[in-house]
Amino acid sequence: MNVIHHALALTAVLIASHATAQVTFYENSGFEGQSFTTQRNVNNLERFGFNNRASSAVVRGNATDRWEVCDDVRFGGRCVVLRRGQYSSLSSMGLNDRVTSVRNVARNAQIDEDRYAPAPVAPSPPEVTFFENDSYQGRSFSVNSPVVDLRRSTFNDRASSAVVRSGRWEVCDDASYRGQCVVLRPGQYAALSDMGLNNRVSSVRAVDSNARVDDGRYAPMPVVSTDYGRRNNEQLYQANVTSVRAVVDAPIMLHDADRMLWDVVWPGSTPDRALTPGERLSVGGHEITVLHTPGHSPGCCSFHDARADAVFSGDTLFCGGPGATGRSHSDEPTILRSIRTTLLALPDHTIVHTGHGDSTTIGAERAGVLARAAELGV
């Protein structure tokens, strides 16, 4: 009897363990919008009303659990394998709004490395630092967990500027997250007086990465957070620059489709290497994903920093609409298609640092881009 009991218990454990292997797809990037979760193979997502709708995904289960996602029915077409973790945007692997079938990969199956999607990035823990004076001067106080009442930290009603290093934070002028509250995005806020909170912050908490926040609740747009600002007693010198490489000693990378433009300006020289869509670059402690966004030029790329909720759009997307397409190598339908399928796949709160002019957000540009795309039938 005990043998049977233990056998049944072991079977239950095995079933429960197997049941934890699952993948969840989300309609929008950043794990937002409607979702669909499966623990079984699905040879056609059309049956569940989720065909060609997935923009982000989360794979849960054991470290060995993997899922193959494909852009055609019955696991055909282009397929990539997702490992356990969070994929905030499927655009980096060319599958945004293109997943049609999905199946679990056997644990003992050998998978070539080139079949895997880019490794999921572990999110940085949220962190915000408040400063006693404007422009990040004076005493500071850093927070990485909710603080219901800043009086306990002797920093109540003392913050005049702030730097959000990761995550989104709600700051309020009363304890227990009451009173006037605004949400800060990653970046630098040189003066909290701009939002009516100078020397008034009394409580602060991180905003869940999946939470939807109305635009009216956000603080004014921050400037990008950097670590290369001028320090106290630092002297500045001016020098003529003849080569960027001589200043920063950084490799020069170029998408192959823009090589013809390079050859016109720098004939006889070559870039250090090619930019590959979907690859991740390590820059100043940040992991940046390369997004191919042609239109301004054939090889134009944008760079997505998922941890900072920011994208560097270059000449692809400006504050007010698409970038310039007046040159012979530019094309407006192409740039609209790039923005619609790749950049608009990012969450609305994503900050867009443009190549010219003011920063903006994906949400602020969405309606205008979609309207122009509809006009051109893109």
Question: Do 45 and 72 belong together in one domain?
Answer: yes
What is the per-residue burial (b if ≥16 Cβ within 10 Å, else e) of 229-264? eeeeeeeeeeeeeeeeeeeeeeeeebbebbeeebee
Q: pLDDT, tens digit, for every residue of 54-64?
A: 988 888 878 78
Q: Give the pLDDT of residue 206.
A: 92
Question: Do 95 and 155 belong together in one domain?
Answer: no
Vertex 257: Cα angle to 251 and 260 (nearest 5): 85
What tokens does 73 get?
Answer: 């029915």
Q: Give the pLDDT of residue 307.
A: 83
Q: Structurally, how many domains does the chain consist of?
A: 3
| 274 falls within a domain | yes
CATH number of residue 89's parent domain: 2.60.20.10
Q: Which residue has the tokens 């900072």?
A: 308
Q: Give the pLDDT of residue 47.
A: 87
Q: pLDDT, tens digit, for every residue of 185-241?
A: 888 898 999 899 999 999 999 988 767 788 889 998 876 544 444 444 555 555 555
| 98 falls within a domain | yes
| 32 falls within a domain | yes
What percent of the chain is modeled with pLDDT above 90?
A: 38
What percent of the chain is modeled with pLDDT above 70?
A: 86
Q: pLDDT, tens digit, for every residue of 246-302?
A: 555 678 899 999 999 888 888 888 888 999 998 988 887 788 999 999 999 999 999
Kind of pairing, strands 203-207 and 253-254? unpaired
Question: Do 186 and 295 belong together in one domain?
Answer: no
Question: Do 84 and 23 belong together in one domain?
Answer: yes
CATH number of residue 298's parent domain: 3.60.15.10
| 121 falls within a domain | no
Q: Please tell me the pTM assigned to this model.
A: 0.48
**What DSSP element (H or E) covers 319?**
none
Question: Do 329 and 362 belong together in one domain?
Answer: yes
pLDDT at residue 12 is higher than 70: no
CA distance 371 to 378: 10
| 18 falls within a domain | yes
pLDDT at residue 110 is higher than 70: yes
Q: pLDDT, tens digit, for every residue of 302-342?
A: 999 988 889 999 999 998 889 888 788 899 999 999 999 99
Higher pLDDT, 238 or 129: 129
Question: Do 185 and 100 belong together in one domain?
Answer: no
Question: Do 277 and 364 belong together in one domain?
Answer: yes
Question: Do 266 and 361 belong together in one domain?
Answer: yes
Question: Which residues constitute the domain of residue 255?
Answer: 251-376
| Cβ proximity of 27 and 33 under 8 Å | yes
| 246 falls within a domain | no
CA distance 326 to 331: 8
Which of the listed residues 115, 149, 171 is the one where a domain comes to its end?
A: 115
Question: Do 131 and 198 belong together in one domain?
Answer: yes
Which of the listed residues 217, 242, 270 is the one where a domain comes to its end?
A: 217
CA distance 103 to 198: 53
| 55 falls within a domain | yes
Question: Do 266 and 370 belong together in one domain?
Answer: yes
Which of the listed residues 89, 115, 141 is the one where a domain comes to its end?
A: 115
| 240 falls within a domain | no
Question: Do 192 and 293 belong together in one domain?
Answer: no
Q: How confident is the model at residue 130 (pLDDT cuts 50, 70, 90)?
A: very high
